[in-house]
């Protein structure tokens, strides 16, 4: 990746807004914080904005309170911005509330992303699907900008790297993943603390939600697909909140013999969010795109404007047409 155009932009534009996708995960938050610190180290100002709230499991990543919630973003912030950077997504629908602002913005629009699904709105795209995590690209950009991550930035970048590779278990993990992980640990990242904060502080509601999800797991299409759902009434009944559904797809994907796993979550009346995982080279991003979503070949998501049972019927129909026939 040639980062020299980004360096020139940082040298000539001194007020930046940095955005990522709704429902931010570890890679999105790590990218927001890492790029903000790299730009600030060059004498410019950078404000990382969240589309919604900051999930409680990731609050430890922002001890300096750099992240700005949507409700605290003033019109002056946008009026004074000279450049916008979007990280870990390149699609309008994932920008949520900020999509209208980005469309209307007349200055440079940078996208730094590793997803295949793109809407090509960047004036300065830095996009490659070869990166196992977007935080790798942020680390490369930061290095080119002359920034050596401090302990807080290293912690954030390690979180993105580790979570997007499934703690170095997923097929996108490469030898250089461990090299980057080692470099970030030497700079102050604490893998034990990161894992504990993200995965070992579950609420009772999340545990109950996990049980409800597992009780509904079913096998489809001759065992090639496994799936489950969280329904609208589950939240209040179980004392759970929407962020408790994050990563529940990992409970379903382990079913032996499946090529595709899915979880459908009814977040509000008339809206279902789907998470997809694929094996053996099957491209779930293509399926997600038929719903207006997208993502990676092995991990993707979408939103369906309708109930979960309707989304499931459509999903299974489309999977049935694309999955190879069993020998």
pLDDT, one tens digit per residue, over 284-306 is 999 999 999 988 888 999 999 99
| Neighbouring residues of 119: CB distance < 8 A, sequence distance ≥ 6 | 90, 91, 92
Q: How far apart are CA 293 and CA 300, in angstroms?
A: 8
327 inside domain:
no
Average pLDDT over residues 68-80: 92
End-of-domain residue from the set 199, 233, 267? 199
**What is the residue range of 54's domain?**
4-199
The confidence score (pLDDT) of residue 222 equals: 93
User: What is the model's pLDDT at position 202?
Assistant: 87
Q: The domain spanning residue 194 has which CATH number?
A: 3.90.1640.10
Statement: residue 57 has pLDDT above 80 = yes
82 and 174 part of one domain: yes
Q: What is the pLDDT of residue 164?
A: 94
Average pLDDT, the chain: 95
The SS3 call for residue 137 is helix
Q: What is the mean pLDDT of residues 299-318?
A: 95
In a domain, 16, yes or no: yes
Whether the pLDDT of residue 327 is over 70: the answer is no
Q: What is the pLDDT of residues 135-146, one digit of tens each?
A: 999 999 999 999
Indicate if 66 and 91 belong to the same structural domain.
yes
Asked whether residue 191 falls in the same domain as residue 213, the answer is no
Considering the domain architecture, whether residues 191 and 210 belong to the same structural domain is answered as no
The helix (H) or strand (E) run that includes residue 152 is: helix 151-164
Segment 137-166 mean pLDDT: 97
Same domain, 36 and 151: yes
Place of tokens 């694929």: 278
CATH number, domain with residue 218: 3.10.310.30
Domain boundary among 145, 169, 199: 199
pLDDT greater than 90 at residue 282: yes
Indicate the number of domains in the chain. 2
- Tell which of 184, 199, 214 closes a domain: 199
């Amino acid at each position: 990746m040639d980062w020299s155009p980004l360096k020139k932009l940082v040298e000539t534009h001194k007020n930046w807004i940095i955005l990522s996708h709704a429902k931010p995960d570890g890679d999105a938050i790590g990218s927001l914080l890492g790029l903000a610190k790299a730009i600030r180290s060059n004498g410019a100002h950078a404000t990382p904005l969240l589309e919604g709230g900051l999930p409680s499991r990731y609050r430890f990543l922002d001890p300096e309170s750099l992240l700005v919630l949507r409700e605290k973003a003033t019109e002056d912030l946008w009026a004074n911005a000279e450049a916008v950077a979007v990280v870990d997504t390149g699609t309008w629908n994932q920008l949520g509330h900020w999509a209208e602002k980005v469309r209307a913005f007349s200055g440079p629009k940078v996208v730094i992303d590793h997803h295949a699904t793109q809407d090509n709105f960047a004036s300065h795209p830095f996009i490659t699907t070869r990166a196992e995590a977007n935080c790798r690209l942020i680390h490369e950009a930061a290095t080119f900008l002359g920034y050596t991550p401090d302990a807080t930035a290293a912690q954030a970048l390690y979180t993105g790297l580790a979570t997007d590779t499934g703690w170095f278990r997923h097929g996108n993990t490469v030898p250089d993943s461990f090299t980057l992980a080692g470099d970030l640990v030497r700079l102050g990242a604490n893998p034990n603390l990161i894992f504990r904060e993200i995965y070992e502080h579950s609420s009772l509601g999340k545990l109950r939600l996990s049980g409800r999800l597992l009780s509904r797991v079913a096998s489809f299409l001759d065992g090639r697909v496994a799936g489950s759902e969280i329904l609208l009434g589950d939240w209040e009944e179980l004392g759970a909140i929407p962020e408790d559904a994050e990563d529940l797809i990992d409970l379903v994907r382990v079913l032996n013999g499946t090529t595709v796993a899915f979880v459908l979550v009814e977040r509000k009346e008339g809206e279902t969010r789907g998470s997809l995982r694929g094996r053996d080279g099957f491209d779930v991003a293509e399926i997600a795109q038929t719903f207006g979503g997208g993502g990676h070949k092995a991990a993707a998501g979408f939103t369906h404007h309708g109930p979960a049972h309707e989304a499931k019927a459509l999903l299974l129909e489309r999977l049935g047409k694309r999955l190879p026939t069993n020998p």
